[in-house]
Amino acid sequence: MPSIRIDGVTYEVEAGRNLLETCLSLGLDLPYFCWHPAMGSIGACRQCAVVQYLDEESEQAERGRIVMGCMTPVTDGAIFSLSGDKARHFREAIVESLMLNHPHDCPVCAEGGECHLQDMTVMVGHRDRHYRGRKNTHRNQYLGPLIHHEMNRCITCYRCTRYYRDYAGGTDLAALASHDHVYFGRHAEGVLQSEFAGNLVEVCPTGVFTDKTLVEDYTRKWDLQSAPSVCTGCAVGCNTLPGERYGRLKRVHNRFNADVNGYFLCDRGRFGAGFVNSDKRLLYPGLRLADGRYDALHHHGALQHMQQMCRTGKVAGIGSPRASVEANFLLQTLVGANNFAPGFSEQEQPLVDLALALQQDSRAVIPDIRSIESADAVLILGEDVTNTAPRIALALRQSVRNKAYEMAAHLGLETWQDAAIRNLAQDQRSPLYIAAVADTRLADVATRNLSLAPGGVAALGAAVAALISGEEPEDLPPHLREQAGQIAAALSAARRPLLISGTGTGSAAAMQSAAAVTEALCAAGSQAMLCLVVPEANSLGQAMLTGPDAPGLATLRERAESGELDTLVVLENDLYRRGSADSIDRLLQAFSNVIVLDGMDNATTSSASLVLAAASFAETDGTLVSLEGRAQRHYPVFLPPQERHPSWVWLLACMKELERPEVRSLHHFDDITRSCGARIPALAGITAASPDYHYRNVGVKIPRQPPRYSGRTAMRADRSVHERMQPSDEESPLAFTMEGLNRSVPGALLPWVWAPGWNSNQSLHKFQSEVGGPLQGGTAGVRLLQPGNPVSAAGLSVDTVTAPAEPGHWLLVPRQHIFGSDELSALSPAIAELAEPGYIALRSADAAALGVSPGDGVVAGNALATLAVRVDDSLAEGCAAYPAGLAGTENLHPLDRVELRRAENWQRPPEVIGSDGGARLRGARPRGARPRGARPGGGDV
């Protein structure tokens, strides 16, 4: 370990690091802008200047030279000064220079109060402005419904383009112009195209890129009440920090988890929680009257009806892969495992069960995202991860850089020397092979993109597995045989090969072949990784809870029709997304009573006899099991209003009313978690996901509100001058107050990041064990899947589905969309604005054969759907793609073979310009017209 001296104090430090991160890890405040722990150093802002001395003599004489902390490796015996006048004056001069053109508009800036530029300005002590010239100004751009642009605030640190282009692979944001006119924007106004654009909000050290949804419904950071949460947008399980004020969810920030999301979220995760504020949320339970209207009930009345309906003893339950383990467990307990369907669609249920089984029975490592970033050869079979598990796509963009790091190591460059490594490696990347029905958003970094029908994808995977095992694959066309050979060679040569597949294409065979490849690699002694993507936040937990023998929706329907069951309890699940309208109608009609617990008005709640208003993820505790088998707890950010309650509260109360013995000893949320862990072997570990209610930090609870939370006494002053008692949290170690301590808390309980002098999210390093390292309190969550299990040979038979040879018929393949395919995030206004209308995509030759061109209508099957035609020549032959989960595609099923024909009387949809009302576009719009997807009543801002 090198030993360095800083201001006369000697430190033993970690080799291979730069001085800036070393100082921050040592707790020394050294200001910076352009350096980012996940993006390394480029030396642009010159803010982290220190003085380096050649030797002790020059230190005595204070004859040193200015060096940049971020660009200076720590070497044994090096002598630095942070606090000397020369370094301090230089750093102050940097801020003074950065502020020449800054508008000083902090009072109206969304970043104010959590602004790194404010913090650094105070830190360097700059106060007096000497510049007397005019400020440069810029025009701002409309960048879509997610990101607000205010270019005048820019300090030209280049973090935005480095993140957007270099890290996230975006192409439509760039540094434009030069000298003190550098402009960060698009070549023309328009929606930012990256699925990860939202991270600009947190990457930008000042208020150039801010969260537009927050700007439109604004609250300062210090007034946000927040709690550790887990994103419910997909199965990755990114850790989030939602913030609330006045009962509205204001924004979602990233919550650092070294093993999962690190510093970054996807835009579905960041902007997809807006549904929590929707006016379609239910506030009261409702009982359906004879005329079809609903009577609002008090919770006592609702419980009375519920327990009466459940007293028949012929109760079935349908759980939900988007509801917590605990709520599902309670419903399962209420109805009994034989009567409990996990709530997947008929197609999805065996796929999720298979995904779980393949991971449980695998010798391969089930990787977290950090491990995915370390992969040095990747094969993706079928899954379009950018749209189904977006954070994994961002991780894969980092994994292909491992080749560059290898080259850099050869030259003695450290990984933080970002610009140098990019210049060295240029377009050299680690192998990434993608076989999918069409090109995906990772195509630009892939070694090879292969367009194959799901059956072809599986066949390719099986061939790769065979080749790795030294066998010659059968029945493979020559060009695929060659590709398979290259892929097998790349995977075999890698130290950390990774296979990715999932349920997204609806193909079991693709997942099986991925497992077969990892098995072959493991058999050859490799540390292979297997990542299988499942659709929803708790899909895997649901499979663990119910097991492969759980009844499906059709089974429950048959048993109800036979009179075996008469009451159905549906937990947080819009069944009309799980099957065709006909089949769900039949299912619901088979029961005399349908009780639905959900948060949002939807087709299923509208069919219920009794609706119970359920809290959203932001209003309740819950444990979710992510696709890597990580159980993670989320906590209520705020308490639900009126008669909206967490599902587990409804279910527990109902079972108490029913005097069910299983719940006699269950009083709190933790009791349910414990009971579930004790009864369900696969979920035994979940109690370790986070500390229980009794955890105290130095004797006190952890505050959800930061110390500067303001206006609590005035919030309700229009109604009463008496300050209402803060609600107490009887379920968790968190409190709805600003009193308490947020220091060294377990990672799972970190409610916000804030440190003296560090008001922005850059204060995170004060909570990490070292810069970029895990949180001091440990990484959140517990892994339920243990790697290294012996493989069960039965799981590895690959059943391939091939495209139909019959003319006029196509194989329907689903394409997932980050904006729109997920149920709840699609109900968030900002995401809804980005969601595309339904379509059917065809190869141009197929479109021509049908006599249609883009924008024309096409009818699938026997009027299953009529949708606009899109042309995508990267589609595999014989396939027609449709967007899963989008309006108009409800009756289309993955891998069905359907006839397509041109739609008669089809009216081409008008050309729509997505807009939130950017000033110039608003002027052009007819009065009264509202952009597609705009929030009703939201109005123009």
Partner 1 sequence: MSLERPLTRNVRPDRSPTDLAAYEANGGYQGLRAAVGRLSPADCLQVLKDSNLRGRGGAGFPTGMKWSFVPMGENPVDASGRPAHKYLICNADEMEPGTFKDRLLLECDPHQLIEGMICAAYTIQADIAYIFIRAEYHKAAALLREAIAACEEKGYLGRNILGSDYSLTMHVHSSAGRYICGEETALISSLEGKRANPRAKPPFPQVSGLWGRPTIVNNVETLCNVHHIIERGAEWFQSLGLTADAGTKLYGVSGRVKNPGCWELPMGTPVREIIEDYAGGMEDGYRLRGFLPGGGSTDFLVEEHLDLAMDYDTIGKAGSRMGTGTMIILDDRTCPVGFVKNLTEFFARESCGFCTPCRDGLPWSAQVLDDIENGRGIPEDLDTLQRQVEFIGAIGNTHCALAPGAMEPIQSALRYFRADFERHIDGAGCPYCDGGQH
Contact set with partner 1 (CB under 8 A)? 42-47, 49, 65-67, 71, 90, 93-94, 97-98, 100-101, 130-133, 155-156, 158, 175, 177-182, 403, 406-407, 409-411, 413, 417, 419-420, 423-426, 428
CB of 45 to partner 1, least distance (A): 5
Distance CA 780, CA 481 (A): 44
Instruction: Identify which of residues 73 and 855 has a Cβ nearer to partner 1 in the complex.
Output: 73
424-460 in b/e form (b: 16+ CB < 10 A) is ebeeebbbbbbbbbbbbbbeebbbebbbbbbbbbbbb
3-state helix, strand, coil in the chain (%, to 5): 35, 20, 50
CB of 691 to partner 1, least distance (A): 45
Instruction: Identify which of residues 70 and 864 has a Cβ nearer to partner 1 in the complex.
Output: 70
Tokens of residue 118, six digits: 């404010």
Question: Do 218 and 208 touch, CB atoms closer than 8 A?
Answer: no
Residue 622: exposure state from Cβ atoms within 10 A (0-12, 13-18, ≥19)? buried
Round to the nearest angstrom and report the end-to-end CA distance of the chain.
56
Residues 6+ apart with CB under 8 A from 308: none
Q: Which residue has the tokens 């020394």?
A: 28
Question: Do 838 and 889 touch, CB atoms closer than 8 A?
Answer: yes
CB of 122 to partner 1, least distance (A): 18
Distance CA 934, CA 914 (A): 9
Nearest to 289 by CA among 612, 639, 610, 704: 610
CB of 330 to partner 1, least distance (A): 56
Distance CA 758, CA 742 (A): 14
Instruction: Identify which of residues 133 and 478 has a Cβ nearer to partner 1 in the complex.
Output: 133
CB of 423 to partner 1, least distance (A): 6
Question: Do 262 and 369 touch, CB atoms closer than 8 A?
Answer: yes
CB of 57 to partner 1, least distance (A): 20
CB of 98 to partner 1, least distance (A): 6
Distance CA 68, CA 47 (A): 8
Question: Do 51 and 801 touch, CB atoms closer than 8 A?
Answer: no
Instruction: Identify which of residues 89 and 667 has a Cβ nearer to partner 1 in the complex.
Output: 89
CB of 409 to partner 1, least distance (A): 8
Instruction: Identify which of residues 175 and 639 has a Cβ nearer to partner 1 in the complex.
Output: 175
Q: Which residue has the tokens 């701002």?
A: 140
Question: Do 5 and 79 touch, CB atoms closer than 8 A?
Answer: yes
Instruction: Identify which of residues 405 and 650 has a Cβ nearer to partner 1 in the complex.
Output: 405
Instruction: Identify which of residues 423 and 802 has a Cβ nearer to partner 1 in the complex.
Output: 423
Instruction: Identify which of residues 100 and 639 has a Cβ nearer to partner 1 in the complex.
Output: 100
Phi/psi of residue 454, each to 5°? -50, -40
Instruction: Identify which of residues 169 and 454 has a Cβ nearer to partner 1 in the complex.
Output: 169
Question: Do 339 and 316 touch, CB atoms closer than 8 A?
Answer: yes
Instruction: Identify which of residues 412 and 563 has a Cβ nearer to partner 1 in the complex.
Output: 412
Nearest to 811 by CA among 869, 861, 867: 861
CB of 174 to partner 1, least distance (A): 9
Please state whether beta strands 79-81 and 49-53 pair in parallel, antiparallel, or not at all (unpaired).
Answer: antiparallel
Distance CA 866, CA 868 (A): 7
650-687 in b/e form (b: 16+ CB < 10 A) is bbbbbbebbebeebeebeebbbbbbbbbeebebbebbb
CB of 154 to partner 1, least distance (A): 11
Residues 6+ apart with CB under 8 A from 253: 202, 226, 240, 241, 242, 243, 270, 761
Question: Do 377 and 493 touch, CB atoms closer than 8 A?
Answer: yes
Tokens of residue 536, six digits: 């929803």
**Chain centre distance of CA 155:** 29
CB of 177 to partner 1, least distance (A): 8
613, β-bridge pairs = 598
CB of 86 to partner 1, least distance (A): 9
CB of 67 to partner 1, least distance (A): 6
Distance CA 210, CA 154 (A): 12
Question: Do 749 and 695 touch, CB atoms closer than 8 A?
Answer: yes
**Chain centre distance of CA 101:** 36
CB of 179 to partner 1, least distance (A): 4
Instruction: Identify which of residues 118 and 347 has a Cβ nearer to partner 1 in the complex.
Output: 118
868, β-bridge pairs = 839, 857
SS3 839: strand
CB of 854 to partner 1, least distance (A): 33
CB of 168 to partner 1, least distance (A): 18
Q: List, as own/partner pairs, every contact residues 185-191 make where C-beta atoms lie below 8 angstroms and the sequence separation is at least 24, other chains included.
A: 185/141, 185/143, 185/149, 185/151, 186/141, 186/143, 189/141, 189/142, 189/143, 189/918, 189/920, 190/142, 190/143, 190/144, 191/143, 191/144, 191/145, 191/834, 191/914
Instruction: Identify which of residues 70 and 818 has a Cβ nearer to partner 1 in the complex.
Output: 70
